[in-house]
């Protein structure tokens, strides 16, 4: 298991080397990953993606019913 410092270094390296992010983008992703308690790589691999077409973008990003998640633990 990595220390917090080692994870931060790995997260920054991932954001720069793999994703080509600028400082503002890195800060945003670091804060988001920290808030969720995951690594930047995990956050990116599981939740960040690009759409190939406008139709796909609309379906995946703008349809309120697509992948609707209920965040409550009770029914």
For 51, the token pair is 């759409």
Between the CA of residue 45 and those of 2, 27, 32, 65, what are the distances in Å? 19, 17, 14, 22
Q: How many CA atoms lie within 13 A of 58 on its CB side?
A: 3
Residues whose CB is less than 8 angstroms from the CB of residue 4 and which lie 6 or more positions away in sequence, other chains included: none
Could you give the CA distance from residue 34 to residue 12 in angstroms, rounded to a whole number?
12
pLDDT digit string, tens, across residues 21-39: 999 999 999 999 999 999 9
The residue among 60 and 23 whose pLDDT is bigger is 23
On whether the pTM is more than 0.85, the answer is no
pLDDT exceeds 60 at position 6: yes
pLDDT tier at 74, thresholds 50, 70, 90: low
């Amino acid at each position: 298991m990595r220390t917090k410092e080692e994870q931060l270094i790995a997260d920054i390296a991932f954001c720069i080397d793999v994703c080509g992010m600028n400082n503002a983008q890195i800060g945003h992703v670091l804060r988001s990953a920290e808030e969720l308690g995951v690594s930047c790589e995990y956050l990116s691999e599981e939740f960040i993606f690009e759409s190939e077409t406008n139709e796909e973008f609309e379906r995946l990003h703008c349809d309120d019913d697509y992948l609707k998640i209920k965040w409550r633990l009770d029914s």
